Amino acid sequence: MSAFYAVYLREIRILRHKLKRQMAGMSVSPLLYMLTFGLAFAGTVEFDGRPYLEFLVPGLVAMASMTQSFAIATDINVARFYFHAFEEFQAAPVSRLAFVMGETLAGLTRALISIAIVMLLGFAFGVRIRPGFFFFLAIFLNGFAFAALAVAMAMLVKSHADQGLLSNFIITPMAFLGGTFFPLERLPGWARGILNVLPLSHASKAIRAAAFGKPPELFPFIILAGAAIIFLTLAIFSVSRARD
């Protein structure tokens, strides 16, 4: 428990020192999306009887829980390749699970901060979200899954530059195709079948339903929980491989 807390506390202290810059950076993308897509389509596009901006904001919450959780990989890579912090963890009595859980929950903490920013921006634009248990459960599962994936990828890459390629090929396409900006139900069946493989598609669906008080569906939560378990297992394996 103390080892896990030490890993987590290290990341949180680093985050605290650059929190203002991080929060400013977290605000830019959702603000631009709300201004460009939300206001541009205001009064002209509706989904499920709601204005487009109300459809968009829960999707941005889902996207933020993914992108900001996965962003912990950058901090891990900087610490690993430039400050050799991972070598210190290797020498310390820190288990693989403690290291992975500490870094994963640090990524999840970053995501929660960014989600609070998105919700505040949405409130400023007149979108009223009613967060409840299933809203936060979907956020937790999605953020945990992608933070664990970030740890796994950070341990597998051979250089800091490789991390940017992973983000370009994994995170960026998922952010635009995972039901953030448009309902997957409007797509052809073959495209919908492909995109339903993405965890973010199920996170967007679950968060959007919970945000406006719709009855939750069990299947998206099963997919997110399964993804979290798979990515956590992959992260533990990757740490073992990096130690060898």
The confidence score (pLDDT) of residue 160 equals 65
pLDDT at 43: 66
Q: What angle do CA 225, 104, 161 make, to 5 degrees?
A: 115
Distance set, CA 220 to CA 82, 105, 138, 217, 238 (Å): 39, 21, 8, 7, 27
Kindly list the distances between the CA atom of residue 72 and the CA atoms of 31, 67, 144, in Å, as whole numbers in the listed order.
22, 9, 11
What the block records as the tokens of 142 is: 């999605």
The answer, yes or no, to whether residue 209 has pLDDT greater than 80, is yes
Q: What is the pTM of this model?
A: 0.90
Q: What is the pLDDT of residue 83?
A: 61
CA dihedral 125, 127, 128, 133 (to 10 degrees): -120
pLDDT value at 1 more than 60? no
The residue ranges of every structural domain in the chain are 2-243
Alpha-carbon dihedral of residues 176, 178, 179, 183, nearest 10 degrees? 100
26-74 pLDDT tens trace: 999 999 999 888 777 766 777 777 888 888 999 999 999 999 999 988 8
Question: Between vectors from CA 152 to CA 80 and to CA 68, what angle results, nearest 5°?
Answer: 85
> Under a CB-based contact definition with an 8 Å cutoff, are residues 127 and 79 in contact?
no
In whole angstroms, what is the distance from residue 187 CA to residue 194 CA? 11
pLDDT in tens, 233-244: 999 998 887 665
